[in-house]
Amino acid sequence: MKQKILFTLFIGLFAMFPLLIGCLNLERSYLEKRYFILDVSRGKDISSPDTETVLKVRRFRVSPKYEGKGFVYRLKDLSYESDFYNEFFISPASLLTEEIRKWVAESGLFQHVVDPSSYMDPNYVLEGAVTSLYGDYGVSTAPKGILEMQFFLLDEASASPEIIFQSKYRKEEPLKDNTPDALVKSWNEALKQILTEFETDLKEYMSKIDP
């Protein structure tokens, strides 16, 4: 009799098992990673130059603090964190170098602008460094995107290449809201301003050495 009762209870629990499973929420909530790029455009066409100069753009270096793909946030003076869920689609070094090369190629200052894989012998080489690339969310300041860059132009025509022009730029662009999308837009605007100023300064210098 006892075995019959136990068997009946077992059959009842087995029959209710699908109902119990249906009451449970087995779906786990999680954050999906998002990937971003930087993209700047001058918005106008520049005529080709009369000179036949070739510029080679080397891969820009990025400070070890910001070379990872995850976005970096400054929370306090010495407190930083990296975002695992929002990051650049490719490394910041590759991403920024590509945008810089594209911008200079459209500047009209050089006949050809090539990357290091090109077999063309350059007249000049452009290299540089990204010293700051982060979102500033410090308590005492309004949120903003920070971008700081250095540029170095080398003369490859001389026996020993030397730096003939260098410049440094820093931009702090306010964020419209505290979202990764707003941060990327601020970086894009900062990069566009930096490249515009760099082009102006470089054009002035090039006019003196190659009138």
**26-42: pLDDT as tens digits:** 444 567 899 999 999 88
Task: Give the CATH number of the domain where residue 149 resides.
Answer: 3.40.50.10610
Domain extent at residue 139? 32-209
Is the Cβ–Cβ distance between 130 and 149 less than 8 Å? yes
- Residue 12 placed within a domain: no
Number of domains in the chain: 1
Reference 197, options 163, 174, 173, 170; nearest CA is 170
Judged against a pLDDT cut of 60, whether residue 15 lies above it is answered with no
Residue 184 lies in a domain: yes
pTM of the model: 0.82
Helices 92-105 and 180-209 pack at an angle, to 10 degrees, of: 40
